[in-house]
Amino acid sequence: MADLDDEMDMAAAMAAEAAGDGAEDDMAAAMAAMEEDGEDAPAAVSGHSTRVLNQDEIDSLLGFDMEGENGADNSGIKAIINSALVNYERLPMLEVVFDRLVRMMTTSLRNFTSDNVEVSLDNITSIRFGDYLNSIPLPAILSVFRAEEWDNFGLIMVESSLIYSIVDVLLGGRRGTAAMRIEGRPYTTIERNLVERMISVVLNDMTAAFEPLSPVTFRHERIETNPRFATIARPANAAILIKLRIDMEDRGGRLEMLLPYATLEPVRELLLQMFMGEKFGRDSIWENHLATELWSTDVDIQAVLDEKQMSLKDVLNLEVGDTIMFNASPASPTVLRCGGISMVSGKMGRSGQNIAVKVDKSLRTLG
């Protein structure tokens, strides 16, 4: 019997091994079929499943788009890495201020150049100061200006194409011809002075644009052509970048303004407002109705002839028939009180069958 049992166990073991080999053969055949179809084949090895990503999935995970033109869009791991660069609060009122600035600059630059000038606001973004200095296209002219009331600085960058366009327009260049560019040389004194005059016009418009929000004076400090000499903040500090496009028919270029968050800190609470003056949808009809009801409300008025202070002991000892003496005379002023607050005083008298008080002095100043 023992030999028979051993033979049965060996047969069962051989059958199980054969079944395992068959399952492995079936899985290998399935993997081969998936590879032939161009799909990723999952492999079960020691209980772990692995999957190979193709190049498109890797690019999508890392946030890169090699085929399209969406290289500037951040997504995936790239967005996580660069999130610190743009994770700054939005200032709604700043957009209102620069919309007003665009309209003012359009008029001012038309008067300044005697030409048809169109100013447009490209975008308002957040950027680190050091990254912006490294991204400035050279050659360019950098203007460092000071916000006097805020006791801090800002930066204006005028790119090369706009510089040559302004010089060409102000010196009487013909319309319809592109401005001549001579690269590889420093800007002349005439070019710097003409651009400085344009920057002064822009700063005056900025002063007027911020006037309804907070009075501030922007004053031009100096002109720089090397970004390293225009450092007004630490490289890691956050700043607001405003990109403006100035077109004069077929000429023009870009002008950029950089305002560090430290510069805007004195008016940060004002810039966080959604509406000017925090009115938030003011309802004048409701206000007028409330005022009308308040003016027609009935209130109780108390006429106080005189007052006398007594101790609690004397009050408790009062009995029927006791007399309390006051120091008021018929000519003493009577104080009229409303809600415990002294409002006016006057002389007491009679009007017909009624006791009346003639008001002759106000005891409360309404602010």
- 86-96: pLDDT as tens digits: 445 677 788 88
The pair of structure tokens assigned to 62 is 């890392």
Q: In this structure, are 242 and 357 located in the same domain?
A: no
Q: In this structure, are 150 and 237 located in the same domain?
A: yes
pLDDT for residue 82 is more than 70: no
pLDDT tens across 210-227, in order?
888 888 889 988 888 888
Residue 49: which residues within 8 A CB-CB, separation 6 or more?
42, 43
Residue 292 lies in a domain: no
Q: In this structure, are 310 and 269 located in the same domain?
A: no
- CA atoms of 239 and 258, how far apart (whole Å): 7
What long-range pairs does 105-111 form, CB within 8 A, spacing at least 24?
105/201, 105/202, 105/205, 105/244, 105/246, 108/201, 108/202, 108/204, 108/205, 109/198, 109/201, 109/246
Q: In this structure, are 158 and 263 located in the same domain?
A: yes
Element housing 336 (H / E): strand 334-338
At 272, give phi and psi (nearest 5°): -80, -10
Give 29's pLDDT tier (boundaries 50, 70, 90).
Answer: low
**Inter-residue contact 183 to 159 (CB < 8 Å):** no
Average pLDDT over residues 37-64: 61
Number of C-beta neighbours around residue 222 at 10 A? 12
Q: In this structure, are 134 and 272 located in the same domain?
A: yes
Given this model, what pLDDT does residue 266 score?
Answer: 85
Residue 345 lies in a domain: yes
Given this model, what pLDDT does residue 46 score?
Answer: 46
Residues of the domain holding 97: 92-278
Residue 66 lies in a domain: no
Secondary structure (3-state) at 333: coil
Q: In this structure, are 311 and 214 located in the same domain?
A: no
Q: In this structure, are 118 and 205 located in the same domain?
A: yes
Assign residue 98 the CATH number of its domain. 3.40.1550.10
Q: What percentage of the chain reaches a pLDDT higher than 90?
A: 7
> In a 10 Å sphere around its CB, with 0-12 CB exposed, 13-18 middle and 19+ buried, how is residue 364 labelled?
exposed
The pair of structure tokens assigned to 181 is 């560019």
**Inter-residue contact 158 to 235 (CB < 8 Å):** no
Residue 76 lies in a domain: no
Residue 162: which residues within 8 A CB-CB, separation 6 or more?
246, 252, 253, 254, 255
pLDDT tens across 65-79, in order?
555 444 445 555 555
Residue 363 lies in a domain: yes
Residue 84 lies in a domain: no
**Inter-residue contact 163 to 191 (CB < 8 Å):** yes
**Inter-residue contact 76 to 61 (CB < 8 Å):** yes
Domains held by the chain: number: 2
Residue closest to 218 by CA, chosen among 227, 234, 205: 205
- CA atoms of 271 and 275, how far apart (whole Å): 9
Q: In this structure, are 345 and 261 located in the same domain?
A: no
Q: In this structure, are 259 and 312 located in the same domain?
A: no
Given this model, what pLDDT does residue 17 score?
Answer: 52
Provide the phi-psi class of 59: left if phi over 0, else alpha when psi is between -120 and 50, else beta.
alpha
Q: In this structure, are 263 and 365 located in the same domain?
A: no
Residue 273 lies in a domain: yes
Sign of torsion over alpha carbons 52, 57, 61, 64: positive
Residue 65 lies in a domain: no
pLDDT for residue 259 is more than 80: yes
Q: In this structure, are 261 and 217 located in the same domain?
A: yes
Q: In this structure, are 252 and 311 located in the same domain?
A: no
